[in-house]
Amino acid sequence: MHIESIPMWEGTGNNYAYLVSDEKTKDAVIIDPANPSEVLPSLKKAVDSGIKLNSIVNTHHHHDHAGGNAEVLKTYQIPIVGGKDCDKVTKTPSHGETFKVGNINVKALHTPCHTQDSICYLFEDGNDRAVFTGDTLFIGGCGRFFEGTPEEMDAALNKTLAALADDTKVFPGHEYTKGNIKFGIKVIQSEPIKKLEAFANSNKQTQGKFTIGDEKQFNVFMRLDDPAVQKFTGKTDRIDVMSALREAKNSM
Ligand SMILES: [Zn+2]
């Protein structure tokens, strides 16, 4: 499995599109090609080198994720796999539904909260595992609850995504790591978050460098039972803790 990160709107949205391909069969998908002027050159280069672009995959309907679909379709007439509200979507996989990209197994994981149509995608190629989390899980943080509840984010992060193998690499929709650390370190001052801080201070990009196992160590939204997190929020009920964390982060 080869993953090419394509940064978009660097310095403002700091989004990522991802071109994921099976090196053997050359099958590939493009995830969230929201800004075609920055993505199409990479797609053209890949297709010229023999890559077969199977589909667009969207993590959710927001414009900075699914807003490039129509423009990409002008060049590549391919299906669009994504949440029900994504522009021009042709296929919405059900929760747990699988499909193939060459030899890569892909599983759709519904994670409603940031939007109701949010879907994370687990890509598995042998022992190589990656999850594309859109605006649900960021490195060291999570998305805002625009269309959902703290219960839903708890389920998304701490049931659905936490159930993945610890070595699954995390590829989020934005490079928000530094901001997440700024908040997280106010809540917990543990070694794992200090290590993450050191990494983010010396590396502009953090996607794919950390795993679900790492997130359980340093992501406060995945540590609702941590006494330090409960102390920070002044709550003990996990849903109250989740809600208070999100409000505190929003008001930063
Ligand atoms: Zn979003």
Which sequence spans correspond to the domains of the chain?
2-176
Distance 171 CA to ligand 1 centre (A): 14
Which residue in the block uniquely carries the two structure tokens 């940064």?
7
List helix spans (H) across the chain. Answer: 36-48, 63-66, 69-75, 150-155, 177-187, 191-202, 212-218, 227-233, 238-250
Confidence of residue 252 (pLDDT cuts 50, 70, 90): confident
Mean pLDDT, residues 103-129: 98
- Cα separation, 62 vs 118, in Å, equals 10
Beta bridge partners of 128: 125
Distance 11 CA to ligand 1 centre (A): 17
Distance 227 CA to ligand 1 centre (A): 30
Residues with CB under 5 A from ligand 1 (ion): 62, 135
Distance 62 CA to ligand 1 centre (A): 5
Mean pLDDT, residues 174-191: 96
Q: What pLDDT does residue 111 have?
A: 98
Catalytic residues: 60, 62, 64-65, 114, 135, 174
E strand or H helix at 134: strand 128-134
Distance 60 CA to ligand 1 centre (A): 7
Q: CA 192: distance to chain centroid?
A: 20
pLDDT at residue 40 greater than cutoff 90: yes
Q: What pLDDT does residue 110 have?
A: 98
Q: What pLDDT does residue 177 have?
A: 97
pLDDT digits (tens, 9 = 90+) for 56-112: 999 999 999 999 999 999 999 999 999 999 999 999 999 999 999 999 999 999 999
Distance 61 CA to ligand 1 centre (A): 7
CATH topology of domain 2-176: Metallo-beta-lactamase; Chain A (3.60.15)
Distance 70 CA to ligand 1 centre (A): 18
Burial class (CB in 10 A: 0-12, 13-18, 19+), 170: buried
- Cα separation, 148 vs 2, in Å, equals 33
Q: What percent of the chain has pLDDT over 70?
A: 100
pLDDT at residue 249 greater than cutoff 90: yes
pLDDT at residue 165 greater than cutoff 90: yes
Which pTM was predicted?
0.97
- Cα separation, 37 vs 34, in Å, equals 9
Mean pLDDT taken over the chain: 97
